[in-house]
Amino acid sequence: MNLLPPLLIPRHQLTLALHESQTKAEVYDLAVVGGGATGLGVALDAASRGLRVVLVEADDFAKGTSSRSTKLVHGGVRYLAQGNISLVREALHERITLLRNAPHIAQPLAFVVPAYKWWEAAFYGIGLKMYDALAGSAGLGPTTFLSRSETQSALPSVQLKGLRGGVQYWDGQFNDAQLAVALARTAAREGALLLNYMKASRLLFTQGKVTGLACDDVLTGKAYAIHARCVVNATGVWVDALRAQDGQHQHIVAPSQGVHIVVEAHFLPGSTALMIPKTSDARVLFAVPWLGKVILGTTDTPRDDLSTEPLAFEEEVDFILREAARYLRVAPQRSDVKSIWVGLRPLVKPPDDESENTKGLSREHTVLVSRSGLVTVTGGKWTTYRAMAEDVLQKCADSGLLPQRQGLTDHLPLVGAETSSIAMQPLSAPQGLHSYGSEQTWVQQLPGHNVFLTGGLSEAMVRFAARYEYAVHVEDVLARRSRLLFLDAGLAMQLAESVGRLLREETGLDPDVNGFLKLAAQYQL
């Protein structure tokens, strides 16, 4: 198979391209603000349609919510219970599309719901059979009823007292930050210009219409003006800040905090996930094998502030550990937590809604076009990022901001997806060279491919991140190009100096080692 080499992305060339477009007063078709799942999806979709696209992100790609998900590509079993059939059907279609377009990043995963009451297996099994029916030919595997011994075999560490059996069903799992970077790189291959660490400071207007962005390069302090026919605000929980510049002061987002705890794999050995459909507060709890560890979560707690690094509340940590203890024979303690991370979900707030109950708020996405032409998109979830992007571009076309063109991303493989000759490993296995898919050969050709720092991270992987994956800071590498900060914060801190040295060699920029060490301390209990 003839594989293209990775697209080299030196920072100075990206800013030079932006400077040249500013000097020539060139006008982009589309300027996207926000480098999370939604913004990157919009940029890729638009670029694949032949539009001239620029995307700016104030921090690193997927710095916020998009790197802090539960790592599930799913139709949404709980949405089915709420009767939201259309959302589930759309998500199930997008689930199989994502698994097809990025098999090195997203894979099927078996889940087991243990039954401790006589009615639970039948009750949940019927609902999950409906889930299968909605998936149709896009299903990943049939729902099956398990005996007590079969449930124990699938979940070796499950609590046996009172166990009657279980139900197994299938959904998907992925590496969210890796997918974000793959979207950025695929969009760049399609001709888009994407810049992380480029802050959109204000909107530009001409005769009352939004016509571009004033941006500041976070790394150099230089200012740029971007002119575009259409501007999309895809900043997640922060969309209201940009809307306020457009004179729109009603908040449309009610942030909800989700906490995840990571423990060693022995608490849930194997490659099957545990799903508890109804916790003591009527939420869903997952225990998911991921990259050699186990993720426990998540919570759903309203909060008013919009910190880029929100901290877990003590009661959230206690809740997760307490619920896990009900279903695992050996319950993890606070001392067993290797990393803890928090994300803010951008839940769409109905007009004049003052409710603090986020479970009742919409998980669907919303696309709005203001009188000035600012397009805002928020809500949704990772699984439906591609469908969200299509909806955004359709709204732009319907509003006369962009031309009507057919979308192409339904069958557009992402970089690294040419994996027919690559041995795949499940995402429950530790992150390694296999996670690069068809690009692992290029990693092996870089200096230091046999020099491993620890945690499965080689010097070549750091160099690859700097040359081809937009990485600038230690945090970019240890939090998102590799996921070590999210897996073992203490170990990540030990590698900071070594990674910083390699990044400085590659980029000539300050890798911000001290900033990372301060951040990583917040990921420990």
Instruction: Find the mean pLDDT for residues 200-212.
Output: 98
Of the listed ranges 34-43, 80-89, 421-430, 501-510, the one predicted with least confidence = 421-430
Report whether pLDDT(42) > 90. yes
What is the structure's pLDDT at 3? 67
What is the structure's pLDDT at 314? 95
Q: Rounded to the nearest 5°, which phi and psi values hold at 424?
A: -90, 150
Dihedral sign of CA atoms 315, 73, 57, 517 in order: positive
What is the structure's pLDDT at 423? 59
Instruction: Give the tens place of pLDDT for each residue, 49-70.
Output: 999 999 999 999 999 999 999 9
What is the structure's pLDDT at 477? 98
What is the structure's pLDDT at 87? 86
Band the pLDDT of 119: cuts 50, 70, 90.
very high
Q: Residue type for 80, please? A: L
pTM score, whole prediction: 0.96
Dihedral sign of CA atoms 456, 460, 462, 468 in order: negative
Band the pLDDT of 361: cuts 50, 70, 90.
very low
In Å, what is the CA distance from 10 to each residue of 59, 119, 178, 193, 458? Answer: 17, 59, 19, 12, 21
Q: Where are the alpha helices (DSSP H) in 24-173?
A: 37-48, 77-81, 85-101, 120-135, 148-154
What is the structure's pLDDT at 20? 93
Instruction: Give the tens place of pLDDT for each residue, 255-269.
Output: 999 999 999 999 999
What is the structure's pLDDT at 418? 78
Q: Are 61 and 35 in contact (CB under 8 A)?
A: yes
What is the structure's pLDDT at 80? 77
3-class DSSP state for residue 60?
coil
Task: Look at 420 and 487; give whichever has higher pLDDT.
Answer: 487
Quick one: how far is CA 478 from the chain centroid?
16
3-class DSSP state for residue 254?
strand
Tell me the β-bridge partners of 253: 348
Q: Is 489 exposed, middle or buried (0-12, 13-18, 19+ CB in 10 A)?
A: buried
Q: At 497, which helix (H) or strand (E)?
A: helix 489-507
3-class DSSP state for residue 496?
helix
What is the structure's pLDDT at 422? 55
Report all structural domains of the chain as residue ranges with CATH numbers, in order of start: 11-65+178-251+361-411 (3.50.50.60), 105-172+254-348 (3.30.9.10), 433-521 (1.10.8)
